[in-house]
Structures are given as C-alpha cells and as structure tokens.
Amino acid sequence: MQVLVLNSGSSSLKFQLFSMPEETILCSGLIERIGFDDAKFKLKTKENTLEVVTAIPNHKTGLELLANRLLDKDTGVIKSTDAIHIVGHRVVHGGKHFSDTTEITEAVKDKIKTLSSLAPLHNPPNLEGIEVAETIFPNAKQIAVFDTAFHQSIPEYAYKYAIPNEYSEKLHIRVYGFHGTSHKYVSEKAMEYLGKKNSKIITIHLGNGCSMTAIKNGKSVDHSLGFSPINGLIMGTRSGDIDPSIIFHLAEKYDYNVNEINALLQKKSGMFGLTGLSDLRDIQAEAEKGNKACQLALQMNAYRIKKYIGSYAAVLNGLDAIVFTAGIGENSILMRQMVCENMDFLGIELDTEKNKVRSKETHAINTDGSNVKVLVIPTNEELEIAKQSINLFKN
C-alpha cells in the first residue's frame, strides 16, 4: 500500500511517499517559497535528486508539480495517481473534536476550518493542502492526523485553566497541546532504546516552533503548549510564556488592537523579537562574533527549557530520559550543551564529545555515569502519520 504524507505550511509543502507497512520511503521532498517566483521544488528518490526553481503561486500548482514529477518517465515512482491509496495530512489543531486519526469528510473539513482561529498559522494551510489533494488524488483516502490527538491523555487537573467553569465547558478553553506526532514518535523510539514501556521521559521538540512533553508510560501527561501554539518555550517568532497583563497593558496604555497584539506575539516575538533573526544558525553565528543580543537570547532560550525540565521531572516524580528532537534539537550542539549544563542534581550529565556526534539514528550523548539518559532522536512526523493512517483501516 502506498501512502503519500503531506505536511502543508503557509508557504511550504513537505512530502514523503511510503510503501506500507514496510515503511520504505519511495521518495521525499519539499516545496519552499510557495507564492514566490523563485519557489524551490526538491524531490529525492533512491536513484536521484531533482531540484527545480520555478514560480509556484499556490499549493494547487505545487501539488500538481509533485504529481507530474511522480508520474515523469525519468523521475517517476508511480504509474498513475490511482497508485496512491492514502494521502495522510498533518493538521495542527483538532480541538475537542478529534482525539484520533480521522478519515476526512466535508464535516471534518468544516471543523478544521472553525478551529483556524486557534491555530491561524497552521490550520488554514493544512486545510488548503487537503482540498487540493482531493482534486489531484481523487481516488485516495484522505486522512487527517492531528497534532493535538496525542495529548488527549493529559489529565483534567493539568489541562484545565483556573478560569470560571463556564468558559471551560461551553467555550472549550483548555490545554490542547501540539507537535503530537513528533512527541509520540520519538517517545516510542526512546522507550525502545530504554528497553521498557514503564518509563518517565521528557521530549524536547526544538524547531521554529518549540514544545516539551512529560510522558509517563507512553502517555502524554503534560505539555508546554496550551490552548494555541504560542505559549511555553521561546520560539522562532512566537513569544512563549508571558504575563497576560502585558496584553492588557498594550491595549490600554498604547491603544494596540487585538490583531496587532496577536501579530506581535505570533510573528514578531521570540528569537526574532530579541535579535532580529529567527534562524538559530544565524543567531549562534552572531553570538560567536560577540553579538550581546544574540548571546542573551540563547541564554533565555536554554533557561526556559531548563525550567520546564525541572517542573516536568517533578510531575513525573523522576526521570529516565530526556530527548532532543526536531531541527534545532537534532542539530544544535550548543543548545543541547546549554540546556544540560548544571543539571547534575537531576542526574543529567552531558558528555561533550558524544554531543558533537551527528547521526540519523537514536543515540545517547550522556556520560556513562549519568542517571538520566540524554538522547538525540531524529523525528519523523511523516512516518508517524503514515503509520497512523494505515492503522485506521486495520482497525
């Protein structure tokens, strides 16, 4: 069975085509800068890698280009679009409506649309990817895998906010959690590495968006992101935790409206707000040159992660492992070092030489004497989506 997985962003489209259940990657790629004349299409197969720079005005054009390349006599890996049996879609926010992987219907699309206000940077492009895929792969089953689903196991005392009950019950304001496919995938890999399902693990997903999850015996019990993907850790352009009174202060004293405050916290804050840069590689390079703002931003980022490690170790009443994953977590030697410094009271001891090792496999970077395993596990959200998609039909 062939499963195409689409991760549709506002100006990008990641994809992988799998042969399942073998978990064989037939091809993978990325479309960047959708909406620009110099958009980049990259398709990688076992035989070759194709890169094309061309105008891609929208997701429909991008997916049409993908379909044509899959069918191309030189680069193609399928004979017709009917060869793809399932298209699995990443959808960020499922609200209270979706606790499991779901086959997409008109009603499901309507729900995803209504939830766009909770994830304005994510749900709209997710939905657009679904609607375009329906036209290009009309005979495939369209499946939604929700970032929020993995966190439905968080207990009520952890997901509920201390606001009047009517807002929780009628307006469904609560912690939902995000990056669920990534946290689920790497936590299962960590349990395999540890050789036990009964475990206490903290997973640290660090990319442009960042989050942490406390996982006990394979279940999410707390998570740093909440009602929307804006709070918790410091992110590329998102603020993470702030005092809510700052919002009122901006509105009352400086006459900011709701849209301006939302744009400030979603698109102009985080590492970008602190440094003018959102890519951690650029920030690290500037910090090495002596840029004080970049040095401080890195310290703030690591400090916030440490705070969550401490609180989640308390929630779990112990700790077997911490896991670094996603673009920054897997690749930033410096950030892992800064996070793990002076954490020996929790039994976390980093081996500086092991920390320099790069691998596409699960590997430990802790000292031999460390009571807590420090693991780097490359995430594979696309594979997790493919697995959940075919499991829907097995069940």
Q: Name the residues annotated as catalytic.
A: 147
The first and second tokens of residue 281, run together, are 């590689």
The Cα 36–Cα 169 span in angstroms is 43
Instruction: Find where tokens 């429909």 sit.
Output: 60
H/E stretch holding 110 reads helix 106-114
**How are the residues of the chain apportioned to helix, strand and coil, as percentages rounded to the nearest 5?**
40, 20, 35
Cis peptide before 155 (omega within 30 of 0): no
Q: Is 145 exposed, middle or buried (0-12, 13-18, 19+ CB in 10 A)?
A: buried
270: left (phi over 0), alpha (psi -120 to 50) or beta: left
Give yes or no for a contact between 318 and 296, defined as CB atoms under 8 angstroms apart.
no
Taking alpha carbons only, the member of 110, 93, 90 closest to residue 228 is: 93
Taking alpha carbons only, the member of 345, 390, 392 closest to residue 372 is: 345
Give a three-class secondary structure readout of 42-76: EEEECCCEEEEEEEECCHHHHHHHHHHHHHCCCCC
Give yes or no for a contact between 137 and 95, defined as CB atoms under 8 angstroms apart.
no
Instruction: Find where tokens 């929790």 sit.
Output: 346
Beta pairing, strands 86-91 & 2-8: parallel
The first and second tokens of residue 317, run together, are 């009443």
Give yes or no for a contact between 178 and 381, defined as CB atoms under 8 angstroms apart.
no
Give yes or no for a contact between 230 and 208, defined as CB atoms under 8 angstroms apart.
no
